[in-house]
Amino acid sequence: MTVSVPGPRSRLLWAVTGVVAVLAVVATVAWTSGRHHSRAGADGLPHTAVEVSRSRCGRGWTDPAPGLRVFELHNTSGAATEVMLENPATHAVYGEVEDVGPGTTRELTVRIGTGTYAFLCVPDDADALTGPTVRVVGGTASPAAVPVTEHDLIPPTLGYQTWVGQGLTEVVRLTGRLRAAIDRGDLAAARSAWLPAHLEYERLGAAYDAFGDADQAVNGTDAGLPGGVHDPDFAGFHRIEYGLWHGQSAAALRAPAAALVKAVTGLRDSWAQTRMDPAQLGLRAHEILENTVQFELTGRTDYGSGSSLATARANVDGTREVLSRLRPVLATRYAGLADLQRQLDRTQRLLDGFRDGDVWTPLDRLTRTRREDVNAAVSDLVERLASVATLCDPRRTV
C-alpha cells in the first residue's frame, strides 16, 4: 500500500490495498553517499532520511533493500517542494508528498519491489530535479502510475461538457412540466413531476462547480438562511419540495416554480460559453458520492418527498458518466478500476431494491441493518473514488 503519511495536502496514492509482497534480498544501488541513514522506527519499519532540495534531491537512500519502508523527506531548501518517488525511465509514480515546507520533514511510506527508482523534487517556482537512480532486484514490483497531465484530461472534459448540455435541456423540459402542473393547480401531478426533474439535475453532479451561484438557485437548501425554510431566499427544487409535501397551495408555489424554470433555462442557455476545468474532473467524480454520504444518506436534504435514496441512485448514475469519460485515462493507471465498476453495480442493485415503480422507500423507514448496508456500500465507493481523484490530479514533472 503506497501512502503518504497524513499532513498538509498529503495524499493516498495508487497502491493496491492489502498487497504484501514477500521479496528476496538481492539489491544493487547505482550511487553511494558517506553515511548510512536507515534505522528502525517505532512502527517496526526501516526509516530512511532523504534530503529534498534543489542541490541534493533524493540524497540519502543508500540501502535499497526491498520491502515496506518509510522515507523521512527533509527539505533543506528555502522553498516548499513536492516530492515524488518515480521510475525515472517511465515517470510512473510510486508515491508522493506535496508541500514539504522549508526546514520540515514529512514521511512517505512505500513498498519497494523490483524496479528502478529516483526521487523527483518539484520546488515551487523552479524546475523539477531528479535525484540519483536506485535499483532494487528481487520480488514483485510495486504498483505505480504515470502522472496525468491537463492535456490528457481535455478530451474527457469536453465530452462531459457536451453531455451536461444535453442533460440541462432535459432538466428544462421536466421543470417546465412541473411548473405547468403547479400553474393549473394540480398538486398531485406536481408531486409526480417533481422527482424526475430533480433527479435529472442531480445526475449532472460533476458540473455543479461550473454552475457557480446558479446552483444555489436551482438546488440550494435552507442551510445558513436566517428564516430557514420560510426565508425568501430559499429557492429551487427543495423550496418546491417543501411546499408540495407540507400542504402549501399552488398559489404559494407558482413564483418559486417560475424562478426555478428561469434558473435552469439560464444555465442551459449559458452553458455553451462555460468552460469546465479539466484538472477538476477526477475530483468531481469523487465528490458526487462523498456529498451523497454527507447529505442524502443523513436525510439533510429531504424536505418531505422521502426521495433521498432516489437521489443517491441518481448520483450513482452521475458518477458512472464521469468515469465513462475518464476511462481512457484510468485504464492503464488504476488497477482497481474493474473492482470499482463492480462495486458501482452492487450499489446500484442495492438502491434499486428500495424502489417500487415510481415510489421509493423513505430513508427513515429503513431498518437499521438496511441503512447500514447502504451507508457501507456508498462509503466503500467514496474510498475507491479517492484514488480516481488522486490519479486524475495533474502533476508538474518538468
Mean pLDDT across 66-94: 91
Q: Are 201 and 264 in contact (CB under 8 A)?
A: yes
| The pLDDT value given to residue 28 | 26
The secondary structure of residue 64, as a DSSP letter, is -
Q: How far apart are CA 356 and CA 225, in angstroms?
A: 35
Are 393 and 96 in contact by the 8 Å Cβ rule? The answer is: no
> What pLDDT is attached to residue 398?
61
Q: Whole-model pTM?
A: 0.81
pLDDT (mean) for 83-93: 91
pLDDT over threshold 90, residue 293: yes
Examine the pLDDT at 275 and tell me if it is beyond 80. Answer: yes
Mean pLDDT of 230-249: 97
CA-based nearest residue to 17, from 334, 343, 322:
334
Residue 134 has pLDDT above 60, yes or no: yes
- Say whether pLDDT at 235 is over 70: yes
> Which residue bears the cell 535499497?
64
pLDDT the model gives residue 141: 64
With residues binned 3-state (H G I as helix, E B as strand, rest as coil), the percentages for the chain, rounded to 5, are: 45, 15, 35
CA 398-99-31 angle, to 5 degrees, is 60
In this structure, CATH architecture of domain 150-391 = Up-down Bundle (1.20)
Integer Cα distance of 155 and 271 in angstroms: 17
% of the chain with per-residue pLDDT over 90? 70
Of the listed ranges 26-40, 45-59, 169-183, 274-288, the least confidently predicted one is: 26-40
- The three-point CA angle 72-75-79 to 5° equals 150
Q: What is the pLDDT of residue 397?
A: 62
pLDDT digit string, tens, across residues 5-17 = 333 333 334 333 3
The CATH classification number of 3-137 equals 2.60.40
Closest CA to 343 of 392, 382, 371: 382
Give the pLDDT score at 191.
98
- Reference 267, options 310, 224, 298, 237; nearest CA is 237
Write phi, then psi, for 186 (nearest 5 degrees).
-95, 85
Q: What mean pLDDT is predicted for residues 46-66?
A: 89
Q: Is 60 exceeded by the pLDDT of residue 79?
A: yes
pLDDT band at 1 (very low <50, low <70, confident <90, very high): very low
What average pLDDT does range 152-180 have in this prediction? Answer: 97
pLDDT of 67 higher than 60:
yes
pLDDT in tens, 346-398: 999 999 999 999 899 999 999 999 999 999 999 999 999 999 998 998 876 66
C-alpha cell at 190: 406536481
The alpha helices in 184-249, defined as continuous H runs, are 187-202, 208-211, 214-219, 237-244
Instruction: Specify the 3-state DSSP secondary structure of 72.
Output: strand
pLDDT (0 to 100) of residue 153: 96
Q: Domain segments of the chain: what residues?
A: 3-137, 150-391
Q: How far apart are CA 117 and CA 95, in angstroms?
A: 11
Q: pLDDT band for position 127 (50/70/90)?
A: confident
Give the per-residue pLDDT at 9: 31
Task: Write out pLDDT tens, residues 186-211.
Answer: 999 999 999 999 999 999 988 888 89
pLDDT higher for 261 or 44?
261
pLDDT for position 6: 33
Give dist(CA 188, CA 365) in Å, integer: 22
Mean pLDDT of the chain: 87
